[in-house]
Amino acid sequence: MSKTLKDGLLNIRTAKQGIERLEGQVSHADGKQGEQATIKEESEKQQMEKTSRHRHHPDHPRDCPDCIRATPVKEISYLHLPVPSLYKRKPFRLTFVGLVFLAVSLWYAAESAMCELYCRPAACSSTPCVWSSTDPTWGVAIPVKLDEWATNGWGRQVANQFSEDASDLWADAVDFVTGTDITTVDMSTLDFYKKRQHRRRLRKKGLSKPPVESSEDKAKWDAWHAARVASERVENAREMGYDISGADESIGGDERL
């Protein structure tokens, strides 16, 4: 009886030791798994910190290198600039920026084509170089030619007159502020356009002086006038059917002026 009891106690002790060893193995395995989980969490956290350096804009496609790659090759900063869209797809319609862009593109194409046909040349590649002072320049070719075709240039004359009056008023205002006397301005310091404006302003104010004509200039003008009158008289006589001799045709023609 005592032997059976001893064997039972021994079996219980052995089972207890086995359970303790099993518990130790289970706890050791749990510790390893916990360490592995901790290491994995730390690596994921580091990876998220690396990838979180690039914050993507929600309205842009994720096609940049840092967006499609888990870990960037090197630290690169991307700047997303918000560019307004030119049109909308559903339904298709142009935005305000798209309408402005379309209008500017059409104007640029039309202005370039018009200027290619009618603008004054920037440089002459052929001789003779034929152009007119009224030919437009790039940027105003369309309004100038439309005005020429519609009103025979009346609108351009009105615009030029308005521009001259406005520039004269501005020059008068500048002279008033600076205390400049228009009659004491040195003409030699002005360019061609400033000289013309200065004479025009003097004429408007009644301060322009009549040009002084010397006796030599008067004789020259009289000779030119006599030669022109004689030439016109010869042309009129020829048109009326009179036979004009060669001597009469050369009236004033051989005189050095």
Q: What pLDDT, in 10s, does the model give residues 159-192?
A: 999 999 999 999 999 999 999 888 888 888 889 8
The H-or-E segment that residue 15 falls in is helix 2-51
**Are 182 and 223 part of one and the same domain?**
no
Boundary of a domain, candidates 44, 68, 92: 68
Q: Residue 116 domain-assigned?
A: no
Q: Give 3-state DSSP helix, strand, coil % of the chain, rounded to 5.
A: 65, 0, 35
Q: Which of 68, 94, 110 corresponds to the end of one domain?
A: 68
Measured CA to CA, the distance from residue 29 to residue 40 in angstroms comes to 16
Element spanning 94, H or E: strand 93-94
Helix (H) or strand (E) holding 116: helix 96-118
pLDDT of residue 142: 93
Give the pLDDT confidence score for residue 251 in this predicted structure.
45
CA–CA gap between residue 12 and residue 47 (Å, rounded): 52
Per-residue confidence band for 36, with pLDDT thresholds at 50, 70 and 90: low
| Residue 88 domain flag | no
Residues 151 and 185 in one domain: yes
- Does residue 132 surpass a pLDDT of 60? yes
Q: Are residues 150 and 189 in the same domain?
A: yes
Structural domain of 221: 215-249
Q: What is the pLDDT of residue 250?
A: 47
Look up residue 167 and give its amino acid.
Answer: S
Strand partners, 88: 93
Residues 181, 141, single domain; the answer is yes
pLDDT at 71: 55
The answer to the question of residue 96 being in a domain is no
pLDDT above 80 for 43: no
Helix boundaries (H) for 122-244: 141-151, 154-178, 192-205, 215-239
Q: Which residue has the tokens 């050791």?
A: 28
Sign of the Cα pseudo-torsion (194, 196, 201, 207, in order): positive
**The pTM is what?**
0.47
Domain end position, chosen among 46, 68, 90: 68
For helices 192-205 and 154-178, what crossing angle results, to 10°? 80
pLDDT digits (tens, 9 = 90+) for 9-34: 777 778 777 777 777 776 666 655 66
Q: What is the pLDDT of residue 252?
A: 47
Residues 145 and 204 in one domain: yes
Number of domains in the chain: 3
70 touches 47 (CB < 8 A): yes
Closest CA relative to residue 86, chosen from 73, 76, 99, 74: 99
* Same domain as 238, residue 190: no
Residues 201, 219 share a domain? no
Share of the chain above pLDDT 70, in %: 72
Q: Is residue 75 situated within a structural domain?
A: no
Same domain, 190 and 223: no
Q: Which structure tokens are listed for 43?
A: 């690596």
